[in-house]
Amino acid sequence: MSKESRIKMSNSHRGKKLSKEHKNNMSGKTPWNKGLKGFGKFNKGKIRSIETRKKISNSKIGKKRSGDPKNWKHSEKTKKKISLIQIGIRNSPKTEFKKGQIPWNKNLKISKQKYPKFGFRTSRKKQIFPKKDTSIEVKIQDFLKQLGIEYFTHQYMKIEHGYQCDILIPSMNLVIECDGDYWHKYPVGNDIDHIRTSELIKKGFKVLRLWEFEIKVMNINQFMEKLKDG
């Protein structure tokens, strides 16, 4: 049919409504294509040539598979690959591999551009949290500068509950924590803070915890006394 005849037919059906008799005749009848997924049923049982099989396989390359993944069936080659990958994942680096068996992650080079989150736990240790020092931390740092004491900020402490301390003085083997009254729950303190102080003491460090309200009123002489007591 030409385009003109198609347009005429479509325009002729506009505004028309089906009668009740026609609707009653239509009700109860199942459509011819109900439950039919594609036209695979028509081609079922047909023997295809090698050329047609290759064409079908090439046409599916790069296309996503439809349906439930549980119903997908892998070939024997893919099953072997999956099993080898799973063996490599299960075995930790400490375990010994069988003869001829290579771990999946040996000589694995991963670009940070493609996978920026890979290995974020190790890189997270070096990141500074928060990025800006608080006003009470800056005040204690100024006291240390005036006294000529060398210090380091936001150093990662290798303990069971590892974290970044506020100030570390290596010469005194001292860790100074400037605790905010609200965030560190004055006067009780957080449970994790108590755990970390005990772990630091076991490691041989001295820990000096100063509250926010103390630092705001503190002068350099009072700070020197705190250092001696600590």
pTM of the model: 0.47
Show the domains of the chain with their CATH numbers: 135-229 (3.40.960.10)
Instruction: Report the DSSP pairing between strands 206-211 and 174-179.
Output: parallel
Cα atoms in the 13 Å half-sphere on the side-chain side of 38: 6
99-131: pLDDT as tens digits: 555 565 666 666 666 666 555 555 565 565 556
3-state DSSP assignment of residue 178: strand
- The answer to whether residue 150 scores a pLDDT higher than 80 is yes
Reported as a pLDDT band with limits 50, 70 and 90, residue 64 is low
3-state DSSP assignment of residue 158: coil
157-192: pLDDT as tens digits: 999 999 999 999 999 999 999 999 999 999 999 999
Range 35-59 average pLDDT = 68
Pairwise CA distance, residues 208 & 216, whole Å: 16
Q: Are 160 and 199 in contact (CB under 8 A)?
A: yes
Mean residue pLDDT of the chain comes to: 78
Pairwise CA distance, residues 118 & 110, whole Å: 8
Measured CA to CA in angstroms, residue 137 lies from 132, 168, 171, 181, 193 at distances of: 10, 12, 19, 13, 17
Range 36-52 average pLDDT = 64
Select the more confidently predicted residue: 57 or 107. 57
> Which segment of 25-39, 73-87, 198-212 scores lowest on mean pLDDT?
25-39
- What tokens were used for 207? 């820990």
pLDDT of residue 31: 65
pLDDT of residue 7: 82
- Which residue has tokens 């924590």? 177
Q: Which amino acid is at 8?
A: K
Pairwise CA distance, residues 156 & 163, whole Å: 6
Residue ranges of the alpha helices (H) in the chain? 3-12, 20-26, 50-59, 76-90, 120-124, 135-147, 191-202, 212-217, 220-229
Range 87-91 average pLDDT = 58
- The answer to whether residue 204 scores a pLDDT higher than 70 is yes
- The answer to whether residue 42 scores a pLDDT higher than 70 is no
Pairwise CA distance, residues 212 & 128, whole Å: 21
Range 13-41 average pLDDT = 66
